[in-house]
């Protein structure tokens, strides 16, 4: 008999930004992440194809609102509630949308999660 893999409840997790990432905000409040392109493949691409050593990732307005609020203390649910207070119905469906955003950020190693204790 197979054991079911227990799924994470992302709303109860606490996101933490990757400390190695450098980020800034432009005049409109848009967050720009600077991701260093490391590794053998990237070095080859930088030399042969003149690829940049640092890629700048420009977030959209909802992500730019959430990014500075990710402080290692608030849960995903608390962050979603803050976004709802700021943008109202514009961000509906709220929780699935914020959870998907956090999953994408985790997949790019921009954030990690720790469990609520």
Inform me whether the pLDDT recorded for 17 exceeds 90.
yes
pTM as predicted: 0.83
Inform me whether the pLDDT recorded for 75 exceeds 90.
yes
CA 116, CA 74: separation in Å to the nearest integer?
A: 9
Backbone angles phi, psi at 68, to 5 degrees: -65, -20
CA 91, CA 108: separation in Å to the nearest integer?
A: 23
Residue 5 pLDDT level (bands cut at 50, 70, 90): low
pLDDT recorded at residue 113:
96
CB 31 within 8 A of CB 25: yes
Inform me whether the pLDDT recorded for 61 exceeds 70.
yes
Give the sign of the dihedral formed by CA 105, CA 79, CA 13, CA 36.
Answer: positive
pLDDT recorded at residue 3:
63
Query: CATH top-level class for 10-115?
Result: alpha beta
Every domain of the chain and the residues it spans? 10-115
């Amino acid at each position: 008999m197979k054991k079911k893999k227990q799924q994470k409840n992302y709303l109860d997790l606490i996101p933490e930004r990757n400390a190695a990432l450098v980020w800034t905000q432009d005049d409109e409040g848009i967050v720009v992440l600077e991701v260093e392109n490391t590794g053998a493949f990237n070095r080859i691409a930088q030399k042969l194809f003149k690829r940049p050593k640092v890629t700048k990732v420009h977030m959209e307005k909802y992500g730019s609102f959430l990014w500075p609020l990710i402080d290692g203390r608030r849960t995903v649910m608390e962050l979603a509630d803050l976004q709802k207070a700021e943008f109202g119905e514009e961000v509906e469906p709220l929780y699935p949308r914020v959870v998907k955003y956090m999953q994408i950020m985790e997949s790019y190693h921009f954030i990690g999660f720790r469990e609520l204790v």
